[in-house]
Amino acid sequence: GCMQNGKWYPFGHIERTEDCYRCSCREGGMKCCSLFSRPVSYDKKKCKIIVNKKRCDYDVVEKNDPSKECSPQARV
């Protein structure tokens, strides 16, 4: 298996790690790709980005009221 961030994973495909990565564990090591898509187009004066590990995504919310989402956004 493979060790990633202190956690042991079996050989093969890992759909989602606790840190929101999709990985492949092989004898040569572990290769991972982030499941997050980073927002790049939003009102940076009014809004902020917060990590949502439950959904493996970033939320863009109002700085003064994080319960309100900001939109529209472009992501990469």
Structural domains in the chain plus CATH codes = 2-34 (no CATH), 39-75 (2.20.25.590)
Return the number of other C-beta atoms located less than 10 Å from residue 39's C-beta: 19
- pLDDT value, residue 8: 92
CA 71, chain centre distance (Å): 19
Tens digit of pLDDT for each residue in 11-48? 999 999 888 999 999 999 999 999 988 888 888 999 99
CA-to-CA separations, 37 to 21, 27, 58, 64, in angstroms, rounded: 12, 29, 7, 24
Question: 35 phi and psi, to 5 degrees?
Answer: -90, -5
- pLDDT value, residue 76: 66
Measured CA to CA, the distance from residue 35 to residue 23 in angstroms comes to 10
For 3, the token pair is 């060790």
- pLDDT value, residue 72: 62
Tens digit of pLDDT for each residue in 53-72? 888 988 899 999 999 998 76
Q: What pTM did the predictor assign?
A: 0.66
